[in-house]
Structure 1
């Protein structure tokens, strides 16, 4: 993949929406600890955008065994995608109001499920409004689609794979640095990180305006954290790690996602935990 396969600018999206076959727009507003994404969507969204509920449509129910946002069963994801109006061969653009950190989950899942034409709106809602483009209010209920999904379009690893990964390549922890260090842990059972993982917070993929860094800056950012060999990424529950996978894909680096992420790992007492002090505990 390249940047053009992953991202679309607000201006280019506006032009595409005027085409005879415009892309399907998905609004994925979500943030940890908030539940008002749908209300925000109803108040103002991109014209024609369909709301997607991350917790119920982009994830299976949470559990200690599988994590806070397990991958949804393929049949459930396909049914949701048809509700959103997705048809075979159609282009899709996903966005949010948080620099793509939530929308990247939809980008990753649909790519994983075999759709080739899925992109993130670079800069999300703020980039759209900054370009002087219009919004609309209210619910959009599209005609049902007929898309057929197939799992395996992007690579994944499980907990055993994450444990072994640092021996052969680079395992990136996409959470905030203080969570990686074990200084704080607001939601999961134990604080710290997977032994051997490198800290690479998702927020560092973005410029101050919420757009992705340019390609040279992204390459420098990943070189600085020591990315070499095969790459895999995890976060708290497999959401913001998808943003990291997208950022890597934009500069031509394929990365595997660990969907269970820290929420699954830290719930298993048999899994060791490392902290910034170098201490590793079982």
Structure 2
């Protein structure tokens, strides 16, 4: 499969801070690629360098076979960019907004309605942008990035601050964009989002890539215990620790959670005690991988 993005030895410093510290990765044509990391990990800086919005101190970047810096006019019609903070022209409707963006690339005005339909905003075509909800504004932002039919799309935390329903709706839009053959590079704080959408993810921290691969492969490589939960009070925590196969048990007053590497043995023992009401069994997730690599301390 052809390489759409190639990044090798990328570095960017701000004073004594290494915002990007030797990052290397590639993205294949048609791939949905995610970059994950806590605040200050270097995700956005990396993306801005690849997009040609920022100059690297060291390293090389190739996008669609071309260098993105200095700002490359041959690349601009071939990429679409949705930034963390989107700004729209004031007092324009959603349709007028898209027509204005499209005119910068010589796109016919009639393309605006097709794009509004594609992102589920056809009924909001005549609504001014300041009247759109957060989820609708994010979808319009993505439509602006797609109006000129780019081969490669960059999305920087596109579902930030959206409610769960709006997030899931936007996921459907992104899946459709990807299945149409576009390569997508996504940064996100949401592990479930990356696990659901991305073919591969790179987990960053302190400007470096710590792990890179398909989400399912990274999760299997963690070798984490399963967690079995039931309602608090169904089984005493001390008794739960004595169950065959149980490693640990903790009761927080709402749920009793048992950690185990042999869930079948634990569940069989719980069934013998008639303690399976409301049981939930959860394996490791990409969030567990993320926390194992980056730590659990809060970062503002």
- With the length of structure 2 as denominator, give the TM-score of the two structures: 0.27
Higher alpha-carbon Rg: 2
- Which of the pair is proportionally richer in strand? 2
- With the length of structure 1 as denominator, give the TM-score of the two structures: 0.29
By relative contact order (CA 8 Å, sep 6+), the higher-ranking structure is 1
